[in-house]
Amino acid sequence: MAKQMKAAVYNEFGGAEKIRITTVDVPELKEGEVLVSVRAAGVNPVDSAVRSGFLKDHIPVNFPVIPGWDVAGVVEDRAYSARRFDVGDEVYAYARRPVVQWGTFAEYIVIPETYLAFKPRTLSFTEAAGIPLVGLTAYQSLIDLGHLKANQFVLILGASGGIGTMGIQIAKEKGARVIAVASKQNHDFMKELGADYTLEYANTDIAAEIKKITPEGADLIFDAAAGETLEKSVGALKTGGTIVSILSHGQNLPKDINFKYHFVEPNSLQLGLLTKMADSGKLKVPVSQWFPLDKTADAMRQLETHHTRGKVIIVP
């Protein structure tokens, strides 16, 4: 008889009310896969976007769906050729597969071991579960696409959210000078994470303020806000600089700028680098709230308010 687990499931696109907590079979282990007992799962805006059907033309979905792409947990079993981790090892992962179906809002997840990295020893499971998607998004945007270097100026839009807070800390680890944009009440919070300068997005001429800080403009703009905030920040870009966005595809922006869109991909080697940052005290994970598994719909609704500072976590 197949092993069973509790999971949050939805059978059609729609609002958070589509979520049901039910019992399902744990998927069978296949070659190269491990069974992870989920101790915590991070909630991200993309989880709601997928559930609502906004991304159905870009990300394949196979119903019924267990949502969730972030996980921290313990290895419970291993299939043939999966020997990088031992049973009992504490691990974490960005668990997005090519087709959305078996996610992390459940008691267990079966995942290729190549997705996994050792969980930071200094962080709780709840904190660690807040890293993978946002940490990898920020790392890949700033380093892989933005080629951020020491002493360069980076302007981070939407800097108080999950991705922005990771971006501040990763940029500081690189030795960059960080200008963080978010609402006024989050400025002290962003400075605690390492921001050198803070700006409010509302009623602010961002380009003019940046030129006061660095007359040539920012070397890199990392956009986790999009919309009007991005459009009125373009003038802050240094000649020859780069914009990397995780939300905009460059619409309504000048065609002659160096613009790149990025959607995060799993990368266990980069997760390992984030583990080292966390264990050396250079990466903190602000957790704003956690919810039990049976309150998954409430956790998703909280994030949908767009007024969450830090991470929302589900604990099975």
| Strand spans (E) along 113-152 | 116-118
- Helix, strand, or coil (residue 276): helix
**Mean pLDDT computed over 20-49:** 97
36-83 residue pLDDT tens: 999 999 999 999 999 999 999 999 999 999 999 999 999 999 999 999
Give the C-alpha distances (Å, rounded to integers) separating 303 from 44, 127, 161. Answer: 7, 17, 10
Q: What is the pTM of this model?
A: 0.96
271-284 residue pLDDT tens: 999 999 999 999 99
Q: Read off the pLDDT band of 179 (50, 70, 90).
A: very high
Question: How many C-beta atoms lie closer than 10 Å to residue 262's C-beta?
Answer: 18
232-268 residue pLDDT tens: 899 999 999 999 999 999 988 998 999 999 999 999 9
88-105 residue pLDDT tens: 999 999 999 999 999 999
Q: Read off the pLDDT band of 203 (50, 70, 90).
A: confident
Q: Read off the pLDDT band of 161 (50, 70, 90).
A: confident
Q: Is 83 exposed, middle or buried (0-12, 13-18, 19+ CB in 10 A)?
A: exposed
pLDDT for the residue numbered 273: 98
pLDDT for the residue numbered 308: 75
pLDDT for the residue numbered 296: 98
Average pLDDT of the residues of the chain: 95
Q: Which residues contact 127 (CB under 8 A, 6 or more apart)?
A: 120, 285, 287
**Mean pLDDT computed over 196-216:** 93
Helix axes 268-279, 162-173, angle to 10 degrees: 80
Rounded Cα distance, 102 and 281, in Å = 33
The domains located in the chain, with CATH, are 4-131+285-315 (3.90.180.10), 134-261 (3.40.50.720)
288-311 residue pLDDT tens: 899 999 999 999 999 998 777 779
208-240 residue pLDDT tens: 999 999 999 999 999 998 788 899 899 999 999
pLDDT for the residue numbered 288: 87
Q: To the nearest whole percent, how much of the chain has pLDDT over 90?
A: 90
pLDDT for the residue numbered 168: 98
pLDDT for the residue numbered 302: 94
